[in-house]
Structure 1
């Protein structure tokens, strides 16, 4: 039963986790808009979602790499730079900073809107699953 619930919600769980991670990255870009030599980062949402679904990590975080059979197999939930890309600026700055505030604000608002839409979708899915269980 739990396997079916996990399968029903897995895509949305991964998508929301990646949206939250992207929001953190975009917020860091905005916070460092005046930091000399700061390089703006972003997340390839589609590629990361595809990779997460193929790996089957379902919220476990990152899989640990092991080099011997006796190593502990586990996961980690801390943030990492894996999957982050550098953003190419359309206009360079003299101090080496690649953050473009207008672009960051647009991406931040778009990602926030998509996160809220994801929450709405998963909430509706949970309600429909609860209704089906009650019958």
Structure 2
């Protein structure tokens, strides 16, 4: 039986991310820990980023898209998603990142077992 640590709000800004964002979203959908919501704020992309995201929102209610009508920057986009977040935890994922399938579960278990309120992990570079 899997432990439910509470809802995780995953915060993702996007801007002209069509080349990477599908694989990024797939890596979140494939998490072993499934109690999450993905909040994507698009910062006025000029490519087909929003269309790709909308394909995911059509079949996965945990994914929500917010859009800006003018470019405001990644920080403002992150803050918009944080404002909409409903989770006990906040996790940040950029639109060109990918997560290993156990990322959330491992971090949540570590935080709970060690009674810590914040943690972060290293990363691997790929091309």
Taking structure 2 as the reference length, what is the TM-score of the superposition? 0.26
Taking structure 1 as the reference length, what is the TM-score of the superposition? 0.25
> Highest Rg: 1 or 2?
1
In terms of fraction of residues, the more helix-rich structure is 1
In terms of fraction of residues, the more strand-rich structure is 2
